[in-house]
Amino acid sequence: MNTPVLTYSRDSSTPRLKLPAGACDAHVHVFGPAARYPFDRALTWTPVDAPKETLFALHRQLAIDRCVIVQSLVHGFDNSAVADAIAAGSGRYLGVALVPHDVADSELKRLRDAGFRGVRFNFIRHLPQAHSVDNVVALTPRLAALGMHLQVHFASALIHELAPVLKRSAVPVVIDHMARVDASLGPANPDFQRLLELLRDERFHVKVSGADRLGGDAPYAPGIALAKLLLQEFPDRCFWGTDWPHPNHTHVPDDGVLVDALADIAPTPDLRKRLLVANPQRFYQFAA
């Protein structure tokens, strides 16, 4: 059996930045506990449990009031651990599910009723997948009937072939982690320019999360610069998240440092309120 891997810090710093009331961490995962929610048998590594109780405690420390939990491949298509966290979150936690592209309408409705607001598909070479972008876009009329959105996670080089197909989506599309572009190449990078072009279509949204993944060590200046640019260009269609508990990473980030980076990503109170409160409130439909 694989030795369990701890992907998150157990002693993240407390941020210096004061977040606005209602602030939302729009991209996290939960792992386990494996004794109750077994990990997917196809998983080639074993994470240390990162259950809802640990997530809730972290959010209290970071002064985060709301959250969107994204189903991880750690649990495959079994969304039970996320559903359990949503149910325990008193309306402040919602979810995005993983489903096969041929998921039944009844299952989509069950997920919607349980607090899932969208479904996610991965187009990353190191992650298993059994779908094409055409399959995924063909699903979107059925998502539209339920008021759900599409979330996509892909390697940056794929944006050029995925973008024309994604533009046929019948629902809004959320792009994960700034399309995983190489931040060290700066905004002139053709992959980043294609992301900007795609975001000029108002159906597209982007998570300005992952500055810690896009190149450079803490304090992650190259990724922060791209996140700031995206928020300036599209202030009403950006979301932010910690990506806790940071799976498949090169290092274990300090979540307090990631929160403090918001002072640079969103340097005014108005921008921080849009990014952290107004945008997720409107898009994910949190209860008032």
For residue 161, is pLDDT > 60?
yes
The verdict on whether 243 is a catalytic residue reads: yes
In a domain, 4, yes or no: no
**Residue 68: which residues within 8 A CB-CB, separation 6 or more?**
24, 25, 26, 27, 28, 93, 94, 95, 96, 117, 239, 241, 280, 284
Q: Which residue has the higher pLDDT, 20 or 42?
A: 20
pLDDT tens digits, one per residue of 174-193: 999 999 999 999 999 999 99
The CATH number covering residue 209 comes to 3.20.20.140
Total structural domains in the chain?
Answer: 1
pLDDT of residue 126: 55
pLDDT of residue 288: 78
For residue 169, is pLDDT > 90?
yes
pLDDT of residue 168: 98
In a domain, 14, yes or no: no
In a domain, 278, yes or no: yes
In a domain, 2, yes or no: no
Alpha carbon distance 132, 144 (integer Å): 19
pLDDT tens digits, one per residue of 218-269: 899 999 999 999 999 999 999 999 999 999 999 999 999 999 999 999 999 9
pLDDT of residue 124: 79
pLDDT tens digits, one per residue of 109-146: 999 999 999 999 999 765 555 689 999 999 999 999 99
For residue 94, is pLDDT > 60?
yes
Spot the catalytic one: 25, 176, 243, 255: 243
Q: Which amino acid is at 73?
A: L
In a domain, 12, yes or no: no
In a domain, 34, yes or no: yes
Residue 224 domain boundaries? 24-284
pLDDT of residue 127: 56
pLDDT tens digits, one per residue of 38-92: 999 989 999 999 999 999 999 999 999 999 999 999 999 999 999 999 999 999 9
pLDDT tens digits, one per residue of 201-214: 999 999 999 999 99
**Residue 99: which residues within 8 A CB-CB, separation 6 or more?**
77, 107, 108, 111, 119
Alpha carbon distance 90, 272 (integer Å): 24
Q: ∠ at Cα 236 (230, 241), nearest 5°?
A: 65
In a domain, 9, yes or no: no
pLDDT mean over 5-17: 97
In a domain, 117, yes or no: yes
